[in-house]
Structure 1
Amino acid sequence: MRITPDNIEHEERLVWECDPSGFEYVRQRLEICGTRVKGVPFNGRGERVGYAILAPYAPRIRKGTWERRVFFVRSNDRSQHPRSAGPYDWTAPREAVDPRTLSAGVVGEITSRAWGAPVS
């Protein structure tokens, strides 16, 4: 599912499990979980580096579940192998955003820093 301002409008704050400034980009996606506040279980490949906490009034998507944003990196991402010629040396995955452009309720942007080269 594509992340839009509408599906993250109830975010209250972002929690980072490590310093986001160490990443040129992070990947983001929505996860379904049974809590608005505790850590978001990450059901994908990679390592979770952050997640969103929802406001108390955030609507459920189904009984007892909420949709929350999670931020992660994978083993083949530039931050994990800064000196190798991996697949994202001069590009970024489609779900990547510069963590400096993220805040609660803000989708984030791909920047030249995140892309690894000037964005055309």
Structure 2
Amino acid sequence: MVWLEDPEQFDYVRQAVDKTKRRNNKPPYARDGRMVGYAILDDHAEPHPDSGLYKCRVLFVLPHDRDSHPDGVYREGAAGEAVDPRTIQPKKPGAKTPRFQRGPAAITPA
């Protein structure tokens, strides 16, 4: 993964699969918000036979997400495509965790 912003600053990020022309370049980003990370595809990744494009995982946040609006609509919970960035691994989707669901107020010190 290539992180464009520090993943530790997010309780969650949204993940999607976008299409790109090349394996090892930053994919284009054409949605609201900002891209915060993306996957670098390995040499075994194959393009789609019809389009010739590669599928690439993109991590992003939208303007109304918790990082920008901690008391907003996602004060608790998050969108369906959101995952805890600490769980993201190469070739595996991220996971939903208590931190992701409830935000920093729900984390109790050990």
Both structures adopt the same fold (TM-score exceeding 0.5): yes
> Partner residue of 2:63?
75
Q: 1:98 aligns with which of 62, 84, 100?
A: 84
Residue 27 of structure 1 pairs with residue 14 of structure 2: yes
Q: Aligned residues: percent identity? A: 40
Please provide the CA RMSD for this pair: 1.3
Partners in 2 of 1:63 and 1:116 — Cα distance? Answer: 40
SS, match of residue 103 in structure 1: coil
SS, match of residue 39 in structure 2: strand
Query: Where do 5+ consecutive residues of structure 2 fail to align?
Result: none
Q: 2:44 aligns with which of 48, 54, 57?
A: 57
SS, match of residue 53 in structure 1: coil
Query: Where do 5+ consecutive residues of structure 1 fail to align?
Result: 1-13
Q: How many aligned positions are there?
A: 103
Residue 42 of structure 1 pairs with residue 29 of structure 2: yes
Pairing of 1:108-119 with structure 2 (within 5 A): 108-116=94-102
Post-superposition, which runs of at least 4 consecutive aligned residues in structure 1 deviate over 3 A?
none
Q: Per-residue deviation at 1:63?
A: 4.7
TM-score where L is the length of structure 1: 0.81
